[in-house]
């Protein structure tokens, strides 16, 4: 479809200032409000991040970095940084799941787990998982959307992600939107355990007890299904790749925590970005830019906006001496956004690589699945060659992963 020239964003490239570009510029302004609604400390961290190239020490928080090269150096250095000590996500989960986390989340046990689960989400298996889990649900949604009906994409994303979890983990739940939404909300509740732990990962006993009940609800069925699960399910694959029952339950919990809110957040925010920047028109004109559009959406949304590590042993990095026991927070959102605004035709940025998925040994296991999910959503939005508009939006408040609570879209 031809695009009116005045609808297109200016071609001139400029560097995004994540602080000032939050004011008055539609896409960036919405992203900023979304981040502050989720966690009021995020915009402050992002602002501080502009001075954290390569590193800055912040009282009570520790070191922060928004420099992609320093970030990758940290995430690629298991001799000096860990996520198991206080301050890291492994420490958080060990209190809930048990001490076996220390054997599986880092070090040789983790290496072994990652080696065994390497083939779990390839490009091919990921597209198959998306087709199997969402095929008919997405086809229905697309028919309604193309016919002009409004869709709350934030809601649909949560339902689809819940459905993905049910499919991946082979859970026995009713095939209804309500049931999938309930699974998503349960995973969200589990992830919320981590809220307020940016500065301190020690959990109070009541939070630990509540989180354990949720873990049992989500993974308890694996005790019964482990031996018999089909080879094309994640549980069957884990078993066939030599993972033990404990490893499989641990990995399933990780998938729940790491791959639900992040994926749903990316889906609705991608729709908002495509509309707010006008880039949907460029994509409609050039559907071959789909992969670039998905990569850009992941970069600019960076749904996991920070990654925490503890310093294991003293080291010099970025002109500073970091001491064992200190903490460091990698500001992925800032590091990725400093590279420029959302453009579907932007080339791959070598220094950032795919920092939105982390780096090193903990690099997101579900990256190919997240990309496949997002591709399907973008196809839903503009696959018929016609643009859409955002009718209304509401930001999620006090949530771990910044996300739209509601984003209603409709064909323009």
Which window, 140-148, 199-207, 345-353, 355-363, contacts ligand HEM (CB under 6 A)? 355-363
First to last CA, the chain: 13
Which window, 20-28, 36-44, 241-249, 352-360, contacts ligand HEM (CB under 6 A)? 352-360
- 222, 365, 382, 403: residue in contact with ligand HEM (rule CB under 6 A): 365
How crowded is residue 131: how many other Cβ atoms within 10 Å of its Cβ? 13
Q: How far is the CB of 268 from ligand HEM (least distance, A)?
A: 12
The answer to whether the beta carbons of residues 181 and 159 sit under 8 Å apart is yes
User: Does the protein bind ligand HEM through residue 336 (CB under 6 A)?
Assistant: no
Write out the binding residues for ligand HEM, residues 120-179 only, by CB under 6 A: none
Whole-angstrom Cα distance, residue 159 to residue 105?
Answer: 29
Whole-angstrom Cα distance, residue 63 to residue 61?
Answer: 7
- 331, 370, 377, 403: residue in contact with ligand HEM (rule CB under 6 A): 370
Segment holding 161, helix H or strand E: helix 153-169
Residue with Cβ nearer ligand HEM (254 or 400): 254
Q: How many residues in the chain? A: 412
DSSP 227: T
Question: In whole angstroms, what separates CA 37 from the centre of its chain?
Answer: 17
How crowded is residue 390: how many other Cβ atoms within 10 Å of its Cβ? 18
User: Does the protein bind ligand HEM through residue 366 (CB under 6 A)?
Assistant: yes
User: Does the protein bind ligand HEM through residue 258 (CB under 6 A)?
Assistant: yes
Which window, 48-56, 60-68, 209-217, 350-358, contacts ligand HEM (CB under 6 A)? 350-358
Could you give the angle at the alpha carbon of 360 between the alpha carbons of 187 and 67, nearest 5°? 95
- 27, 64, 104, 307: residue in contact with ligand HEM (rule CB under 6 A): 307
For residue 269, which of 32, 45, 48, 67 has the smallest C-alpha distance? 32
Which window, 61-69, 144-152, 188-196, 303-311, contacts ligand HEM (CB under 6 A)? 303-311
User: Does the protein bind ligand HEM through residue 358 (CB under 6 A)?
Assistant: yes
Cα-based distances in Å from 214 to 165, 187, 189, 253, 255: 14, 8, 8, 10, 14
Q: How far is the CB of 234 from ligand HEM (least distance, A)?
A: 8
* Site residues (vs ligand HEM, CB under 6 A): 83, 89, 114, 254-255, 258-259, 262-263, 266, 298, 303-304, 307, 356-358, 362, 364-366, 369-370
């Amino acid at each position: 479809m031809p695009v009116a020239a005045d609808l297109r964003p200016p071609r001139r490239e400029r560097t995004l200032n994540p602080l000032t570009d939050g004011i008055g510029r539609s896409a960036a302004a919405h992203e900023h409000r979304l981040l502050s609604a989720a966690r009021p400390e995020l915009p402050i961290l992002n602002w501080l991040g502009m001075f954290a190239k390569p590193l800055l020490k912040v009282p009570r928080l520790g070191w922060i970095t928004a420099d992609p090269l320093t970030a990758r150096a940290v995430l690629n250095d298991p001799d000096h940084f860990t996520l198991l000590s206080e301050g890291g996500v492994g420490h958080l989960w060990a209190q809930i799941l048990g001490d076996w986390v220390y054997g599986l989340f880092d070090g040789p046990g983790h290496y072994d787990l990652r080696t065994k689960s390497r083939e779990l989400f390839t490009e091919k298996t990921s597209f198959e998982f998306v087709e199997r889990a969402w095929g008919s649900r997405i086809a229905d949604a697309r028919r309604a959307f193309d016919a002009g009906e409004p869709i709350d994409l934030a809601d649909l994303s949560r339902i689809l992600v819940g459905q993905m979890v049910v499919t991946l983990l082979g859970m026995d739940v009713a095939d209804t939107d309500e049931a999938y939404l309930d699974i998503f909300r349960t995973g969200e509740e589990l992830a919320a355990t981590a809220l307020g732990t940016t500065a301190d990962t020690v959990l109070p006993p009541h939070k630990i007890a509540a989180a354990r009940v949720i873990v049992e609800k989500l993974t308890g069925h694996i005790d019964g299904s482990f031996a018999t699960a089909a080879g094309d399910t994640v549980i069957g694959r884990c078993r066939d790749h030599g993972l033990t029952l404990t490893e499989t339950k641990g990995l399933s919990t990780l998938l729940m925590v790491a791959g639900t809110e992040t994926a749903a957040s990316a889906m609705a925010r991608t729709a908002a970005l495509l509309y707010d920047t006008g880039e949907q028109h460029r994509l409609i004109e050039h559907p071959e830019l789909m992969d670039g559009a998905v990569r850009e959406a992941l970069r600019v949304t960076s749904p996991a906006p920070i990654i925490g590590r503890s310093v294991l042993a003293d080291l010099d990095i970025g002109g500073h001496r970091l001491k064992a026991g200190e903490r460091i927070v990698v500001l992925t959102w800032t590091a990725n956004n400093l590279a420029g605004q959302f453009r579907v035709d932007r080339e791959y940025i070598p220094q950032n690589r795919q920092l939105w998925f982390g780096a090193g040994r903990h690099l997101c296991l579900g990256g190919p699945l997240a990309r496949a999910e997002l591709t399907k959503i973008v196809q839903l939005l503009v696959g018929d060659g016609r643009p859409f508009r955002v009718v209304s939006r509401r930001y999620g408040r006090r949530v771990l992963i910044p996300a739209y609570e509601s984003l209603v879209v409709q064909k323009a």
